[in-house]
Amino acid sequence: AQSVTQLDSHVSVSEGTPVLLRCNYSSSYSPSLFWYVQHPNKGLQLLLKYTSAATLVKGINGFEAEFKKSETSFHLTKPSAHMSDAAEYFCVVSEGNYQLIWGAGTKLIIKP
Amino acid sequence: DGGITQSPKYLFRKEGQNVTLSCEQNLNHDAMYWYRQDPGQGLRLIYYSQIVNDFQKGDIAEGYSVSREKKESFPLTVTSAQKNPTAFYLCASSINRANEQFFGPGTRLTVL
């Protein structure tokens, strides 16, 4: 059975410092993996997706994520945080059966 | 401009009333979804539809109903049987299985 664990409910970083949001998954097959971002009271926007091509995936707004099969991880990173990055981030796994399995979310706080 | 629209943005309902949330997409996607989001939680799937005139229950379908008479439209009715309907409701669509989902801006429903 699929599952997704976001290891931190909140992450706080200073503006200009690196961001790391951690995600571990379990899947019986080769999964598709996604990161979505949600700003307060808004819908969700796709940041990036992994679908068995390159293991390092680049997304929008300077974010990237690395698929590590041996560690069953898909952590999201950004070299330098910006105030506009403050939002909630969701890691998602899919085995192609129309149902996405959502992590509980990580709230990213940016300190000035 | 392609996308997903949801209306209304805010909705207030008295206890015991049914209410219908609108979701329309012009992306020509076959699949559509309804999710519920509660504070501090990830998304939970209510219903999904893979094609017109067909839909399946998700994880929390009790107290909700849907229809899919047109490819573009997937309205959700929150019935009086839903015991705790106050939440943020998100509609999404995708082109086919395993592809990423695109989200509308959401409807915040409050029961008075």
Q: For position A89, what pLDDT does the model report?
A: 97
Q: For position B97, what pLDDT does the model report?
A: 63
What residue of B is the nearest CA neighbor of A10? B40
Q: For position A66, what pLDDT does the model report?
A: 94
**Residues of chain A under the 70 pLDDT cut:** 1, 96-98
- CA–CA min distance A80, chain B (Å): 26
The structural domains of chain A, with segments of one domain joined by +, span 3-103
What DSSP assignment string belongs to B1-65?
---EEEE-SEEEE-TT--EEEEEEE-S--SEEEEEEE-TT--EEEEEEEEETTEEEE-TT-TTEE
CB-CB under 8 Å, B48 with A99: yes
Q: What's domain A3-103's architecture?
A: Sandwich (2.60)
Q: Whole-number mean pLDDT of chain B?
A: 92
